[in-house]
Structure 1
Amino acid sequence: MFLLAAKSATASHRQAEIIEVILRNGWNYFRSRIIKDAQPEQPALPLPHVLRQILIELGPTFVKLGQLLSTRPDLLSPEYIAVLETLQNNVPALPWNEIEPILQNAFGESFQSKFLTIEPVAIAAGSLAQVHRAVLKNHQTVAMKIQRPGIREIVERDLEVLEALANWFSRDKIGQAYDLPGLVEEFRYSLLGEL
């Protein structure tokens, strides 16, 4: 199997995870590009529902990529757009026991004393964060947007791997049809800005 040149050990490990997910989901073109002596396939994206499943399995950065792609009819056909649009509102929230330590880290051990109430069940969830209703000491109701644990490190590692993939595929027919390094750079700017 061919592995891309990754800048860090964590990116190399993540790269292997990504390849495993893609191969398990049967993207044959990708398989033919990374496995030596594999029968070459015609350049093609996986079927829309397969692409969606790959993005979900790869986690928050890739779900966010799918969300971005769902807004790009200049890049994808209506069938892909329709399937990827479902990533806009079907992200499960993390349980309170994973969110509470984030608040403790941000506000200190006595974070609950800063609020009258904090709803432990999220009212909305996205790929990078989720929202909880809270009431401040002055009785003002607020929406608290809480980033997922370790999300910045996850995103930075995944962006490193995406950059390597984009550079590798840029010499290929798919890469020639799309400016993959440019798309990754646009995605990087947008995603890091959101964080």
Structure 2
Amino acid sequence: MSNQSDIKDMRAWLASERSGTALALNTLRGGARIMETVGVLGRQGLSWLLGDRPPMPALLRTTFESLGTTYIKLGQFIASSPSIFPEEYVQEFQRCLDRTPALPFHYIRETIEAELGQPLESLYQSVDPKPLASASIAQVHAAKLKNGQDVVIKVQRPGVRNVLLTDFNFLYFAARITERLAPGLSKSAISGVIEELQAGMLEECDFIKEANNLTEFNAFLENTGNSRAVAPTPVMSHTTTRVLTMERFFGVPLTDMNVLRKYTDDPAETLITALNTWFSSLMLCDFFHADVHAGNLMLLEDGRIGFIDFGIVGRIRREAWDGMAQFFDAIGRGDIRQMAEAMAVIGMTREEVDVNALARDIEQLQGSLVNVDPSSLVQADRNDKEVNRLLMDLVKIGENHGIRFPREFALLLKQFLYFDRYVQVLAPEMDMFSDSRVDMFGIADDTPGGLLH
């Protein structure tokens, strides 16, 4: 008995030591990351003092790119949020790309073997050492399973989660100090936005969640009878929090018109299928794909639409989605009262909104709202200055009434921007807000491109 007790005590001690060691290592890494951040800021400040003074948006973008993962993602958030940030910052951060130098393959091998507990050769028939893609959070490699199936392996970069935690804690602390020093800024809830971004990015680091998202999205497609779209099937036996193995898709991005015409005679119908699938997911799936840029929507060789990369997803209440539809419709018709009611539904607030007072404030913008096509609100490539200014004014008015637009508002707006770019390439004559083939609020019926056909 005493021997068993000693063994238990020894195991408990070893577990405690491992936990303590991990905590100490994370603390050291966190401290090193803070020093790195301070160093980058110091170098940028010194360059400024020595006379290298680019415009503030450009300086901020290059600083963010120097700081890496967290700040690159934050820069992309700025680029896709014309409703929140000034036009010059939105434009500058369009250049903030999430591309990083590829990791040497031995890091990829070591991570896969550590996560899956077997030699690489025992797990896969082959793995291409040259990556298909290399971003700030993960690197992707083509591979074959032992049964010959083509797959891709998404491997998380070393230390990414710890960097995100350290960076966001630093940003949150700085935001709270800023809000205390400038109380007028608290209405914009800077620290709240940072908290929401942190939650979204940490979720992106959990590949088990992403694998579950893939499975759930395919279940949604099956349940709605949609055989014209598909997401990759994850290989759960070869997947952990930091390694995701999934089915490989072969096809072309939806924006590659030259190659696209080899696969379809009707690019517009292809786009309508993608739109109807995505709109349907807003109401009939627990989440929506929140990153449908050109690399994440494909036309596959068999004619189906492939949705890939479910690391970033959004969730929206039915009421909030209805509110957004009313918001766009009200702007198009110049209905100030309905616009105020929609903003109260979309926004997050702890206080009762005086809709009449909100409508009176919005009415002061009426000159700007006359003859504004609601579709222009999501067509930033066509009307940047007017749209950004209008959205900024509306957001500020909302803040004055205690309304804070949720992260999902920015995510949805970002997807509309992406889809508008698809429209410009594939069907420039189409208006996705009024085209009868596009069903924004449910499953399409017997229209061409409808989900059930």
| Match 2:162 to one of 153, 171, 178 | 153
Match of residue 19 from structure 1:
38
Q: CA separation in 2, counterparts of 1:167 and 1:121?
A: 43
- Structure 1 unaligned spans of 5+: 1-7, 32-45
Output the amino acid matched with 1:188: Q
- What is the TM-score when the length of structure 2 is the normalising length? 0.35
Residues 13 and 165 of structure 1: is their aligned pair in 2 closer, same or farther, counting only changes over 3 Å? farther
| Match 1:186 to one of 178, 192, 196 | 196
Match of residue 443 from structure 2:
none
Q: CA separation in 2, counterparts of 1:65 and 1:132?
A: 26
Counterpart mapping for 1:1-195 below 5 A? 11-26=30-45, 47-173=56-182, 176=185, 178-195=188-205
Output the amino acid matched with 2:75: G
How much has 1:191 moved relative to structure 2? 0.7
Residues 175 and 121 of structure 1: is their aligned pair in 2 closer, same or farther, counting only changes over 3 Å? farther
Residues 26 and 125 of structure 1: is their aligned pair in 2 closer, same or farther, counting only changes over 3 Å? same
- Structure 2 unaligned spans of 5+: 1-26, 50-54, 206-453
Output the amino acid matched with 1:190: G
Q: CA separation in 2, counterparts of 1:12 and 1:114?
A: 37
SS at match of 1:73: coil
SS at match of 2:163: helix
How much has 1:147 moved relative to structure 2? 0.6
How much has 1:163 moved relative to structure 2? 1.3
How much has 1:116 moved relative to structure 2? 1.4
SS at match of 1:155: helix
Q: CA separation in 2, counterparts of 1:180 and 1:22?
A: 20
Output the amino acid matched with 1:58: L
Relative contact order (C-alpha < 8 Å, sep 6+): which is higher?
Answer: 1
Q: CA separation in 2, counterparts of 1:175 and 1:118?
A: 54
CA contact (8 A) 1:117 1:135 kept: yes
- What is the TM-score when the length of structure 1 is the normalising length? 0.76
Q: CA separation in 1, counterparts of 2:183 and 2:41?
A: 16
Output the amino acid matched with 1:179: A
How much has 1:19 moved relative to structure 2? 2.8
CA contact (8 A) 1:21 1:54 kept: yes
CA contact (8 A) 1:52 1:83 kept: yes
Q: CA separation in 2, counterparts of 1:103 and 1:148?
A: 11
The number of equivalent residue pairs is 173
SS at match of 2:155: strand
User: Deviation digits for residues 77-112 of structure 1, max 9, x if unmatched?
Assistant: 333223323334433322212222111111224122
Match of residue 3 from structure 1:
none
User: Deviation digits for residues 38-83 of structure 1, max 9, x if unmatched?
Assistant: xxxxxxxx72221122112212122121122221112223332233
User: Deviation digits for residues 130-185 of structure 1, max 9, x if unmatched?
Assistant: 11111111211112111101211221122211111111122345971742101111
CA contact (8 A) 1:11 1:161 kept: no
- The percent identity for this pair of structures is 32
Q: CA RMSD in A?
A: 2.8
* Larger Rg belongs to: 2
CA contact (8 A) 2:131 2:142 kept: yes
